[in-house]
Chain A
């Protein structure tokens, strides 16, 4: 196995991880600030992808499609927060799980109703397609490289937002003591809607960006949602830094496991069996990583100690 192939796979893992971060950041913010577990976050990812595919189909512009994805998901998020989610803040986690599961059913079947069961395709724009040559002679798709850069930019932006702005101060205060900041005159329900819409927008953006590599279809959000949960469990609930590190760890483990485990099994089994067994175990690799972190630190790498 050549170093170039390995470098390529590391980049793939990084790209996957950065997209997972966009999902996990929203989830962990929403949980940290409102104490809400939101299963419908995957639906917002799907809404973003469909909005992007529809707008790209109508206008042909990829940038407009991204803006549409962000706006549609944030709008859907704000709407859902106003109508359903805000009734759930004082309920137990079971009610939150059930209500957001119901939202998944409504979103998924509603989208199938509107767009049909066939997958849509979102094309990579011409100015981002094709390979680039990186130092060391590695040929790598420009689009995937752009995803890595964009994801890292969003991470930096989010960090600046949370640590440097007035809204960020309110969000952090809301995580610690919601009665106190309400008493200080911050409109807490407006803040909650804002945080939810922000998380939703990030999910929608991720959906549109990934939709251009894969296909845009109903049910695309939930596998990513569950991976984002794994990321949060590893990184620690409520921690943006944890979400970033967890996401990159999961992305790398998944991608590299898929490459190396079959090779590893080839050392002591015939190639066909090794490939089958290796890829079966590779699909479990990230969950084994999660289990290992749980044994070591039950509240995740950066979670609050209890």
Chain B
């Protein structure tokens, strides 16, 4: 077992043990905090596929996170008002069923990632960063000025959506559901990195022209990576909206994009458990520092600056050694 695998195992153990303890000690708030961390981790695992594997510095992942959230908000609000989404050419009803909402969130985010990717991947480097940021802002302003679904105020849902066989209103059951999804996606992400696609993508990040020489299209590889990445982050968005029973344009804001990226960097880019470690640390910092000072983000900024300037490859990099996972 390598040191990184040991670190990963400890993280996994904590994700099970801490909420287990909280259940035993009757601390529902800790479970909610853990759920928040797990959902952020899921969003960041999504970004890590584009960022770590594909080398795509997307500063617009809030688009997918927010669209996932709105997929939940729109479907559930139609269901709670008993109004259909559309009546022509065929009737689409709202729904309170999580699996249907998740699927919608995944499909909608994937389509958004495809459209944004088709345009943004015409360029690379710093242009790509600015363009993903700009398209993120476009969707954000659209959500604010489009009055049909709450505009700036967002949408509230009275009761959390349901999952067959579970009572999602019980915190630990909803946590279990989120954790299960995170583990499935982590497994998928690990398999993806070792698959022929993942290897080709890795090569396309490092030496695009050689990949082209052997007959693969590096842009198409990156586009697929971005679509997969967006779809996963969209799923996380649907869960986040369900956790809060609320969705608003804040989920689409550029700060959200920055935060999702921060999760990945604190933990370690291109490390399987990097985004998980990063999200857990972020939520802990937010909770602990937020209790000390209203202006806790100053300290978050300083911590972040030190992590980046130290260049050790995030927390996993510091614990597991061997500098960076790539480059």
Contacts and interface: CB of A to CB of B under 8 A. Distances in A.
Given A99-B308, A287-B138, A294 B119 contact: yes
A223 B136 CA distance: 12
B304 A101 contact: yes
Interface stretch (B35-43, B123-131, B233-241): B123-131
Interface string B74-89: 0000000000000000
A150 interface: no
Given A37-B126, A283-B141, A109 B147 contact: no
Contact of A93 (B129, B131, B298, B300): B129
A97 B129 contact: yes
Contacts of B145: 276, 279-280, 282-283
Interface stretch (A6-14, A126-134, A187-195, A227-235): A227-235
Interface string A81-119: 000100100011111011101111110111011000000
A97 B311 contact: no
A63 interface: no
Interface residues of A, number: 44
A272 to B, nearest CB: 10
A226 B134 contact: yes
B137 A95 contact: no
A298 B295 CA distance: 41
A299 B127 contact: yes
B229 to A, nearest CB: 15
Interface in B96-132: 119, 122-123, 125-127, 129-131
Interface string A52-89: 00000000000000000000000000000000100100
Contacts of B144: 283
Contacts of A101: 258, 261-262, 304
B133 interface: yes
B134 A229 contact: yes
A222 interface: yes
B269 A94 contact: yes
Contacts of A37: 126, 129-130
A291 to B, nearest CB: 5
B276 interface: no
The DSSP consensus for interface residues of chain B is: helix
A95 B308 contact: yes
Contact of A105 (B57, B254, B298, B309): B298
A294 to B, nearest CB: 6
Scoring A97, A101, A108 by chain B CB atoms within 10 A of each residue's CB, the highest score goes to A101
Contacts of B246: none
Contacts of A290: 131, 134
B252 interface: no
Contact of B301 (A95, A106, A280, A298): A106
Contact of B146 (A103, A110, A280): A280
A4 interface: no
Size category of the B interface is: 35 or more
A94 B295 CA distance: 26
B137 A102 contact: no
B197 interface: no
Contacts of A299: 123, 127
A284 interface: yes
Given A93-B126, A276-B147, A230 B308 contact: no
> Which of A84, A97, A98, A110 has the most chain B CB within a 10 Å cutoff?
A98
Contact of B133 (A87, A102, A229): A229
Contacts of A284: 138, 141-142
Nearest to B327: A92
Contacts of A287: 134-135, 137-138
Interface string B261-275: 110010001000000
Nearest to B127: A233
B298 A294 contact: no
A260 interface: no
Residue of A110, A295, A298 ringed by the most chain B CB atoms within 10 A: A298
B264 to A, nearest CB: 9
B254 to A, nearest CB: 6
A237 interface: yes
A109 B301 contact: yes
Given A101-B304, A233-B127, A109 B138 contact: no
Contacts of B254: 222, 226
Contacts of A282: 145
Contacts of A113: 295, 298
Given A103-B301, A106-B301, A237 B308 contact: no
B59 interface: yes
B133 A280 contact: no
Given A109-B295, A233-B130, A298-B122, 5 more contacts: A98-B261, A105-B301, A106-B302, A294-B123, A294-B131
Rank and list the top 7 A-B pairs by shortest CB-CB distance, nearest first.
A105-B301, A287-B138, A106-B301, A102-B304, A283-B141, A229-B130, A102-B305
29 contacts: A37-B129, A37-B130, A94-B51, A94-B265, A95-B308, A97-B261, A99-B305, A101-B261, A102-B300, A102-B304, A105-B301, A105-B304, A109-B297, A109-B298, A110-B298, A112-B295, A113-B298, A229-B133, A230-B134, A233-B127, A283-B144, A283-B145, A287-B134, A287-B137, A290-B131, A294-B131, A298-B123, A298-B127, A299-B123
